[in-house]
Structure 1
Amino acid sequence: MIKEIKKEAKEIVHKNIVNFIELEAFALIFLIVFSILTFFTGTLFLIGPFLVGISYVYMKVVRDNEFDLRNFFYGFENKNVVANVFTEFLKNIFILAWTILFIVPGIIKSLSYAMTPYILADDNKIKTRSALRKGKLMMTGYKMELFKLNLSFIGWWFLVFLTLGLALFYVSAYYRVATFLFYEKIKGNFEEEENKEEEAEVQLQDKKEVRQEKKNKKKKEQKGKKEKVKEKKVKEKKTKVKPPKERKRKEKKTKDKKKRKEKKTKRGVKDAESR
C-alpha cells in the first residue's frame, strides 16, 4: 500500500512540480509574514485554515488536475473558517493532553486525527465534532500504516536538512500528495464500510417493517372476524320471527285461566280443611 502510494505521489509531483513549488513557497511566505504581523499569536488561529487551504489545493490537483493558487484561501472562507480554526485547536489540545501523559499515546492521537484537514477540505459543511469523530473512525485500523508512511519520509526530511532547506518544497509537496492519496484510500474503504452498515440497517429496518405489517395484518384479520361475528349476531336478532299479537294474547289468556283454576283449587282445599 505504502509503495503504491509513494509511487503514484512521485508521478503526480513530477507532473506538477512547478505548481507545487509555487504553492509551497507562497504558503511558507504567507505563514511567516502573518506570524510576524501578529507577533506569532495569530498562528494559533491561522494553522487550521492554513492546513485546510493547502490540503484543498492538493486535493483539486490530484482529483481534477486543476491548479489554482487562489484555492489556498479556501480554508479562510466565511462558511468554514470557524470549524477549521476550532477543529485544529481542539485536535492539538487532545494530542498535547495525551502527550503530557505519555509520548506514545500522544503519537497515537496525532495519527488518529491526522486526516481532519482533508476531511474539512473535502466537506465545508462538516462541524468540528463530526470532523474529529470521522477522522478518528476513518483511521481505525490504519494508524500503523500512516506511521510507516511517515517513517518512510525520514530520509527525505534528512535530505532537506543536508541541502539547507533547498529540497524543502519538493519533499513537502511529495509528502502532502502521498498523505492525500493515503486519505483517498482509507476514505474509500471507510465509505464502503459505511454503505455496508447502512445496507444492513436498511435490511434490518425492512425486516422490522415486514414483521410489523404481519402483526397489523393479523390484528386486522382478528378485528374483521370479530366484526363479522357481531354482524352475524345482529342479523340473527333481526331475522328472528316475532310471534303475532293474537298469539300472544291467547297465550296470556291461557296463562290467566290456569292461574285462576289454581287459585280456585287452593280455596276449595282451604274450605274443606276449615269444615
Structure 2
Amino acid sequence: MEKHYKTRAELKREVKDLYRSNWGMAIKLNLVPTLISVLAIFLIVIFGLFSLISLSMAPDIMGSADSIFAAFSVFTLLGSASGGGGLGGFIITLIVTGILYTSLDWLRTQQKPDGALRNAFTVFSGKYFLGTLLTYLLVQLFTFLWSLLFIIPGIIKQYAYSQALYVFKDAADAPDQNNISYFDCITKSRQLMVGHKWRLFVLQLSFLGWDILASLSFGIGNLWLTPYKNATYAAFYKDLVD
C-alpha cells in the first residue's frame, strides 16, 4: 500500500497544534538564531541609511567610495554572522541543527522540552557533536563538488542531502549507535528524497511571503516565524520516515 504523505497545510497544522499554548517555549528555543537575524536586519537598515546620508553629503568621490566600502564591509560581516559563511555562520548552523533535533523530538513525543536554551545547544553535546560536524562537512563537500559541474546539479544534490543530519540524529539515538556511517546518512537522505525534492522546495517557498513580512518588521516577526519554519522542516522529515 502506497504511503500517504502530508500536504504542506497538514505539516503546518501539525506545528500549529504543537505550539498551541507553547509559543513561549518555541520562541525561547529558537531565540539565539532569531536574535542574530533581527540584529542583522536592524543593523543593515541602519548602516544602509547611514551610507545613503554619507553619499549625499560626501564632499568628493573618495569620500563616497569610503562610505560604500564601509557599508559593504558591514554587510559582509553581518552576513557571515547570521549564517552566510565564516566561523560565525558555521556556529549558527550548528545551533540551528540542535534546534531542529529538539523540534523533531518534540513533534514525536509531544512533550515540551526542558530548558529551551540548553536544548538549542544540544548539538554541542558529546552524543551529537562529532557526527553532526562530520556529516555536515561531507554534505557541504559533496554539494560543492556537484556544483563544480553546473549550478543546477549542485542545487538538486543540496535537496537530496537535506535530510542527512536528521538521519544521523536518528542513528545516534538508536541502540547500535556505534555502527554509524556518515556516508550512509547521506545515502539514506538521498534515497528518502527521491520524489520529494520538489515537495521540500515548494514547502520552503511557501514561507516567502512571511519572510518578506518579517523583514519589513525589522526582523521582529522572526520571533514567531523562525520556530514555525524550523518545526515545519522537522515535521517534513518525520513525515518521510515515521
Band the TM-score falls in, shorter-chain normalisation: 0.5 to 0.7
Question: Which runs of structure 2 are paired with 1:255-266 in the superposition (5 Å)?
Answer: none
Does the alignment pair 1:187 with 2:232?
no
Give the letter aligned to residue 155 of structure 2: I
Tell me the equivalent position of 1:204: none
Tell me the equivalent position of 2:68: none
Question: Which runs of structure 2 are paired with 1:75-114 in the superposition (5 Å)?
Answer: 75-114=123-162
Among 20, 23, 40, the alignment partner of 2:26 is 20
1:98 and 1:105 in contact (8 A); partners too = yes
Tell me the equivalent position of 1:66: 112
Tell me the equivalent position of 1:127: 181
Shift of 1:113: 1.3
Deviations 1:84-105 (A, max 9, x none): 1111112112223333432222
CA distance in 1, matches of 2:89, 2:210: 27
Tell me the equivalent position of 1:224: none
Closer, same or farther: CA 181–172 of 1 in aligned 2, 3 Å: same
Shift of 1:43: 4.0
Shift of 1:75: 1.3
Range with bigger deviation, 79-88 or 9-18:
9-18
Identity of aligned residues (%): 30
Deviations 1:115-155 (A, max 9, x none): 12222232323331121111111111111111111111111
Question: Which runs of structure 2 are paired with 1:215-254 in the superposition (5 Å)?
Answer: none
1:96 and 1:106 in contact (8 A); partners too = yes
| Partner SS for 1:137 | helix
| Partner SS for 2:121 | helix
Closer, same or farther: CA 160–58 of 1 in aligned 2, 3 Å: same
Shift of 1:50: 2.5
1:48 and 1:85 in contact (8 A); partners too = no
CA distance in 2, matches of 1:79, 1:60: 15
CA distance in 2, matches of 1:116, 1:47: 18
Deviations 1:34-73 (A, max 9, x none): x88xxx8544763564343111221222122221222333
| Partner SS for 1:15 | coil
- Compare the two structures and name the one with the higher helix fraction: 1
CA distance in 2, matches of 1:152, 1:44: 24
2:34 and 2:222 in contact (8 A); partners too = no
TM-score for the superposition, normalised by structure 1? 0.59
Closer, same or farther: CA 29–159 of 1 in aligned 2, 3 Å: closer
1:55 and 1:117 in contact (8 A); partners too = no
Give the letter aligned to residue 11 of structure 2: I
Give the letter aligned to residue 60 of structure 1: D
Does the alignment pair 1:50 with 2:92?
no
Residue ranges of structure 1 left out of the alignment (5+ in a row) = 189-275
Cα RMSD for the two superposed structures: 2.6
Does the alignment pair 1:141 with 2:186?
no
- How many residue pairs were aligned? 183
